Amino acid sequence: MKPFSQKMPPRTTNPDGATRRVGVELEFAAVSARDGSQQVQSLFGGTVEEEDPHRFHIRGTELGDFVCELDTQYAHRPLKPEAGRIGGGLREAFADFDARLRSLIGDVSSILVPCEVVCPPVPIDEIGKLERLVQALREAGAEGTRSNPLYAFGAQLNPEIAEDSGEWITSVLKAYLLLSEWLREIMSIDPTRRIASFADPFPNPYVLSVVDPDYWPGRERLIEDYLHANPTRNRELDMLPLFAFFDEEKVKALAPDPLIKKRPTFHYRLPDARFSEADWGVTLEWNRWCVVEELAADRAKLDAMGRAYRANREQWISENWAIRASEWLLVS
């Protein structure tokens, strides 16, 4: 299949006027963290540093710093603080035992737990460079979600925001909620991910309130409304990192999760990582995200779709919204 041409969103610069960036995270099996780090180095240069047998840092590449690791904290858990009170040779023996145990846990976990490459944020016009990494991992034998019924692997895009106003962020959230069912259908989500529920959908009352054409809150109210309805990271479009960037104390108070990392990006969690399919890659998923931002930029269509969505939900028998959304995108 011919490679996809990369789309660009309507807004290409961040609030400071620089080119927007996007972070990418990829999960896969059958290629170790060590081998994955070597693939990164062969493409982009840099120096590979081993933190432990299942986590490697690739520093100083042409794109920035990468991490390639087994995606489980138990393989990387550091020596417990109380071990520091153990003296002399006993402490060294304890440290050696701890390291060996973590390595063993990693070896066993690697059967089902994916490895993950965490890429540095790259300018959105350089996404094609990360496509080379997908291809290199595929050629090295990386397996994705559809290679094994037990593989519930995913990928993540972290697009930097173009504007920090409540209105613009609300427009993107509205667009995503209106296109969520359409995205699920065109992705043809793997049954494994449907069963595992890779990320819970947004509560219907919250969706109805946000897509309402009259809902255009300021940023503070947007954050408060979101936190009261979604005090969890477990959403397809996780807004907590972005909202923590604006108001970390409020997010910590209502969603006290230590894994929330504040950053000025949307956290878009993709259900599948399809390394076994030659036409799957970062560019395809990025292009789908651009459709969301294109809708967000069309206020008239956004409001009209919001009214139609709410009316459809009020029907005794609702129409298939994924199909209706396709009509809005293609015809209107």
> 321 and 263, same structural domain?
yes
DSSP state of 280: -
> 328 and 255, same structural domain?
yes
pLDDT at 191 (0 to 100): 53
Last residue of a domain, one of 111, 142, 173: 142
Residue 10 within a domain: no
> 196 and 119, same structural domain?
no
Residues of the chain with pLDDT below 70 are 1-3, 72-112, 145-152, 189-199
Could you identify the residue written with the tokens 């490895």?
115
> 70 and 201, same structural domain?
no
> 171 and 219, same structural domain?
yes
> 108 and 25, same structural domain?
yes
> 209 and 111, same structural domain?
no
> 192 and 295, same structural domain?
yes
> 131 and 203, same structural domain?
no
Report how far residue 172's alpha carbon sits from residue 204's, in angstroms, rounded to the nearest whole number: 18
DSSP state of 217: -
Query: For the chain, what is the total number of helices (H) and then of strands (E)?
Result: 12, 9
> 97 and 68, same structural domain?
yes
> 193 and 75, same structural domain?
no
Residue 213 within a domain: yes
For residue 316, count other CB atoms closer than 10 A to its CB. Answer: 4
Residue 148 within a domain: no
Q: What is the pTM of this model?
A: 0.85
> 98 and 41, same structural domain?
yes
Q: With 0-12 CB in 10 A as exposed, 13-18 as middle and 19+ as buried, what is 332? A: exposed
pLDDT at 275 (0 to 100): 84
pLDDT at 33 (0 to 100): 95
Domain count, the chain: 2
DSSP state of 273: -
Report how far residue 237's alpha carbon sits from residue 147's, in angstroms, rounded to the nearest whole number: 25
Q: Which domain holds residue 130?
A: 19-142
